[in-house]
Amino acid sequence: MDLDLFGKTVLVTGGASGIGAGICTVFAREGANILMNYRSRQAEAEAFAQELRQRYGVRVLPVQADITEPEAVEDLFVQARAQFETLDVLVNNAAGNVIFKPFQDYTEEDWHAAQAGICDHVFRMSQHFLRTCLATGREGRIINILSKSAILSSSIHNLTYVANKGALTALTRGMAKEFIPYGVYVNGIVPGYVRTRVHMDNTERTERVKKLLPLHSFAEPEEIGNVAAILASPLFRQMIGSIVDCTGGTLI
C-alpha cells in the first residue's frame, strides 16, 4: 500500500539506533526525507544516514543534539526550517536511561533526570512542532513512542521510569484532543521487546525472556517503524489519540 508519505519530512529523535533507526528506515523506504536527531556516536549516525541516502534516494540530515536542553530543541527546529521547506511528522522516540533503585533510595536528582529524559523534551518538541504547523497552515502528525511499563509493570526498582512513561501516555491523549482542531494528529505506540542493542547485549536474559513471549521472538525495529508510518499517513485520519499495542501479545 502506498502510504502517501513520499516527499514528506519527518523528524525522528533518537533516530540513529534501535527503534529510532527502524523508524527512519521505514520512512526512508516510503520516500520521506528524514531529519535524524541523535545524541552520541556521531560516526555511527553519519554512516547510517549515508546508507539511507544511497539505498532510498531521500534526503537525510543527521543532527547531534541533547534534546533534554531547551536551547537544543529550539536549534533543532531552526535547522529543520532552514534545511527543509516543510516539517510534516514528528516522532518522539528518544528516552532517557532507566535508573534502577529501590523507591526509598531515589533522590530528587534521579526523579528530575527521569522527567527530563522522558517527558520534558516531548513537551518542548511537540510545542515547537505545533507552532510550526500553525505558522505554515499545514497538517501534521506527532507519534510518541511509549512503554508497556506504563500499563503493565513487569519489573521493580524502576518507578521513576514507570511514572514518567505513564505521564507521557496521558500527555499523548491530552495533546490529541487539544491539537486536532489545528489539523495535528497525535498518537502513540507501545512497543514490546525489540531487537536493539540494549536487549541483545545480554544473551542469557534475552533467551529467557523470549520463552515467555507469545511469539517467542523479539520484534525487529522496522516493525515498530511500520506502525509509525501508518500513523503518519494521511490515509489513516480516523486514528486520533490512539495508543497502539505493538507488544506482540505481551499485554494480553
Give the distance from CA 78 to its chain's centroid. 20
* Residues 6 or more apart whose Cβ sits within 8 Å of residue 226: 26
Catalytic residue among 38, 56, 161, 193: 161
DSSP one-letter code for 16:
T
- Residue 118 has φ and ψ, to the nearest 5°, of -120, -50
| Strand ranges of the sheet holding 184-191, from the earlier edge strand across to the other edge | 60-64, 33-38, 9-12, 89-92, 140-145, 184-191, 243-246
Q: How many other C-beta atoms can be found within 10 angstroms of the C-beta atom of residue 205?
A: 10
**Whether the Cβ atoms of residue 42 and residue 64 lie closer than 8 Å to each other:** yes
What is the number of other CB atoms lying within 10 angstroms of the CB of residue 26? 24
Radius of gyration of the chain (CA): 17
Q: Annotated catalytic, 161?
A: yes
Residues sharing a CB contact under 8 Å with residue 102, sequence separation 6 or more, in sequence order: 157
Q: Are 189 and 224 in contact (CB under 8 A)?
A: yes
DSSP three-state, residue 197? helix
Amino acid at site 17: S
**Would you name the residues annotated as active-site residues?**
161
